Chains A and B, each alone.
Chain A
Amino acid sequence: MPTGIPSVLMLIAAVVLIVAGIGFANLFLLNPADRGMANSGSSVVNDTNENGLNTPAKTGWLDNFNRNIVDGGPPKDGIPAIDKPKYISALEGDKLLKNTDIVFGINYKGVQKAFPRKMLVWHEIVNDVIKGEKISVTYCPLTGTSIGLKGANNSGVDFGTSGKLVNSNLVMYDRQTNNLWPQILGISINGADKGDELGWFPVYWTTWGQWKNKYPDTLVLSENTGFLRPYDNDPYGSYNGENTYYQTGGPFFPLMAQNNKLPPKQVIVGIKLNNSYVAVPKDLAKSKRNITINLANKTILAVYDYDLDSVNVFEKDSKDPVTSFDAMWFAWYAFYPETEVYLDEG
């Protein structure tokens, strides 16, 4: 057989070399100054001036996130948000869910709804309207965060998935302005609304059995989402299985900051108030039942709810709820490296 003719293997080798070259170039292009230096000397206190405008200090901090956005794989809306959610009764929900299945429950303006995790892992965002108000229930599987969000300044917005990630966290875009909003941050990192913060409402990370027991009249998100997905399958492996993404190993994507104070995927309750942050290991909150924290000169209570296996966080004096949600430690720290960590010190 004549030699010197390009063979399939030579072609593949050429492709691999090109790919490796692109890969190395990509690594060097990642801004090393942003690795492990999320706050880069910028402070988020005094983030607005007397006119209420975002100061350079805060916008510089936001630019860090913008610079560290990476391609998550799917294109914009490749992971489709559910825009026309349909709901079924709890009785019908029993046909779809086991009592041990994880659901994200909301109790908003007296309306209770459960969003099965096994469905949200395929869609990440549900845009809904409750009593005339637009709200969104969001879930990022890679960071273990389920957060209730609504438009900044009470503006009604719909969110979609941008296909981008920062610190492994879902970066949403709003369909009204195309601005980007990392889910954990809840702040726009670009566009005319840069620096605006989304409204928050609590989402309870619990099980179907616990949720329907507490709210027997709850509605449940139907599988009639407008899309076809194998909702019985988890693309990241069984949530309760061993050696799956949810339990072991580190994140898949680069992080802006890392800290090994806790195992990377340990679930913490992340609490934020007036640019101050604290992480409470969830199992610690569960064992202590009531935790008192001094945060941003306020006394905060983190109270374990036995019925839902969740932690409610609120201001002691006003009883106002404080922004809080479960998260994997690595993700919380990557966004808020200045965070305090509440540890049981006797």
Chain B
Amino acid sequence: MFFHQLGYILSINKFRNTFIAVFVAFFFLYLYAIGNITTVETPRHGFKLVEDWQNNILKSRAAFVWEPIAVFFLGNVAVFLSLPNVLLAKILSLLVAANFTVSAFSLSLPKVCRISPSKSLLSAAPSLLTGFACCVPAFLVVLGSGTAAFISLFMGIRPAFIPISFILLISSLYWTVNKITEIRRSYEPAYR
């Protein structure tokens, strides 16, 4: 029933388009957050493949972040390609998009049953904090060293951020779809 409900929602043009848009947006946002998409000062065009790329595909840089094996330079934009990073980005984006879409669908249901789509973004938030700048989490570099007290705490739990995001996204999606199914059974005689 879960997949049936999900399939029904995605069969509606408006919500399928929402799904695709959120998928694409989060996909690029995640890759930007982990530094696989970035801007460079010196514009250039080209492609570079690292030597011995076959042995570097699964080389880890940090928990759930892998070394890139190629880079595309597109003017001032550099796209670093890591196959595991892309795969993880796709899976996270699918979950975020699904969460957002089913929540958006819930807005068409009776008012008391609506679920804010922003909750799906909250669930994905931990995954966006896994980017780091050498020794320091990237977002803390932006916030400044006043966050020093937080760093020890953050470092200890950062490896759990991706699993936490997965748990939140999957549980949220499952719960939301089931709620929608119950509500539709209550309010749509034809659905029973």
A228 — which chain B residues lie within 8 A by C-beta? 48, 50, 67-71, 80
Interface flag for A306 (CB, 8 Å) = no
Q: How large is the interface on B (under 10, 10 to 19, 20 to 34, 35 or more residues)?
A: 35 or more
Binding-face segment, B2-10, B24-32, B85-93, B153-161: B153-161
Question: In whole angstroms, how far apart are the Cα atoms of A236 and B138 in the complex?
Answer: 8
- Which of the listed residues B48, B152, B182 has the most CB atoms from chain A within 10 Å of its own CB? B152
Interface flag for A56 (CB, 8 Å) = no
CB pair B152–A73 under 8 Å, yes or no, is no
Question: In whole angstroms, how far apart are the Cα atoms of A141 and B132 in the complex?
Answer: 14
CB pair B134–A74 under 8 Å, yes or no, is yes
Given contacts A5-B175, A227-B67, contact A73 B62 (CB under 8 A): yes
Question: Chain A 122-133 against B: per-residue CB contact (8 Å), 1 yes, 0 no?
Answer: 101000000000
**15 A/B residue pairs, CB under 8 Å, sorted by A:** A11-B168, A12-B168, A20-B153, A23-B150, A26-B153, A75-B62, A227-B67, A228-B68, A230-B40, A230-B80, A233-B39, A235-B133, A251-B148, A253-B151, A254-B152
How many pairs of residues, A versus B, come closer than 8 Å at their CB atoms? 147
Question: In whole angstroms, how far apart are the Cα atoms of A272 and B126 in the complex?
Answer: 44
Given contacts A1-B179, A228-B50, A249-B144, contact A23 B60 (CB under 8 A): no
Question: In whole angstroms, how far apart are the Cα atoms of A278 and B61 in the complex?
Answer: 38
A250 — which chain B residues lie within 8 A by C-beta? 145, 148
Q: Which of B100-132 contact A (CB under 8 A)?
A: 112-115, 119-120, 122-123, 126, 132
Question: In whole angstroms, how far apart are the Cα atoms of A237 and B182 in the complex?
Answer: 51
Q: Which of B66-81 contact A (CB under 8 A)?
A: 67-71, 78, 80
CB pair B151–A22 under 8 Å, yes or no, is no
Interface flag for B141 (CB, 8 Å) = yes
Given contacts A1-B112, A237-B141, contact A73 B60 (CB under 8 A): no
Distance of A36 from chain B, by nearest CB (Å): 15
Interface flag for A338 (CB, 8 Å) = no
A122 — which chain B residues lie within 8 A by C-beta? 134
CB pair A73–B155 under 8 Å, yes or no, is yes
CB pair A236–B123 under 8 Å, yes or no, is no
Given contacts A142-B135, A253-B148, contact A8 B141 (CB under 8 A): no
A253 — which chain B residues lie within 8 A by C-beta? 148, 151-152
Interface flag for A284 (CB, 8 Å) = no
Distance of B41 from chain A, by nearest CB (Å): 4
